[in-house]
Amino acid sequence: MDRMAYIAMTGARQTEIAQAVNSNNIANASTTGFRADLHAFRSLNVDGPGYATRVNAVGESYATDFTQGATVTTGRDLDVAVSGEGFIAVQAADGSEAFTRAGDLRLNTLGQLITSSGNLVLGEGGPVAIPPSETITIGPDGTISVQPVGQGPQTLATVDRIKLVKPEYDALEKGTDGLLRRTDAASSPPDATVRLTPGALETSNVNVAEALVTMISLARQYEMQVKTITTAEENADAAAALLSLR
């Protein structure tokens, strides 16, 4: 009976983890540029002395869904959507290079270009800094042009270019901050083939209907595993009662 209870217990525990991953996807269904996390279940034998009588159920977040989300036109000067494959390079909180698809950019009080999460956007020589200007224009290749204060619209000055990269998907992993990083912790070189769509944003790629169905399925699976544990306990009690009659 203990084998039955053990397998159900580990399954229930890992189902809770899978439900947390799925719930995080649902919570970010409206987050700009969000990439859904994928999870799966597998079984692992518990190694040790004696016979292999125990199996550990494992549910893990093992990959990221890189399917492109829908592009929505906003008309805002600092909104950009990455067209096709590629990412915007940003500086994470620990100073390392990370990648994002969230193009809802803005300026901080120091005139630096940042994402909505506060990460500094990287340019050709580090974080992008924009001087006081009348207008800011971001081109499809990431070039940032400004109209200096006090000058006419015919006067445009290029101040920097957003670093756009295209690392291999299998070389990336998502951190707890939602940013993607290379597994080897290296930086990626700029890729001229990555293009931006100015005045637009990419939505989350989470399929809400599918995620809700998955949530219900995981809830039912959890209930079944808990019921299995209860059944194992009842069977053990019944067996003990029968043995006590002898």
| Residue that the structure tokens 């397998």 belong to | 7
Backbone angles phi, psi at 173, to 5 degrees: -140, 150
Q: Dump pLDDT digits (tens) for 33-70.
A: 999 998 877 666 666 666 666 666 666 556 899 999 99
Task: Enter the DSSP assignment of 190.
Answer: P
Sequence spans of domains, the chain: 2-66+206-234, 71-202
* Structure token digits, residue 61: 């977040």
* pTM score of the predicted model: 0.81
74 or 244, which is more confident: 74
Q: What is the pLDDT of residue 14?
A: 82
pLDDT at 192: 92
pLDDT(146) > 70: yes
pLDDT given at position 221: 87
Provide the 10 A C-beta neighbour count for residue 137. 16
Q: Is 35 helix (H, G, I), strand (E, B) or coil?
A: coil
Is residue 202 classed as helix, strand or coil in its secondary structure?
Answer: strand
Q: Which tens digit of pLDDT belongs to each residue from 131-140? A: 888 889 999 9
pLDDT tens across 166-191, in order?
Answer: 999 988 999 888 899 999 888 899 99
Q: How far apart are CA 25 and CA 172, in angstroms?
A: 18
Higher-scoring residue by pLDDT: 45, 75: 75
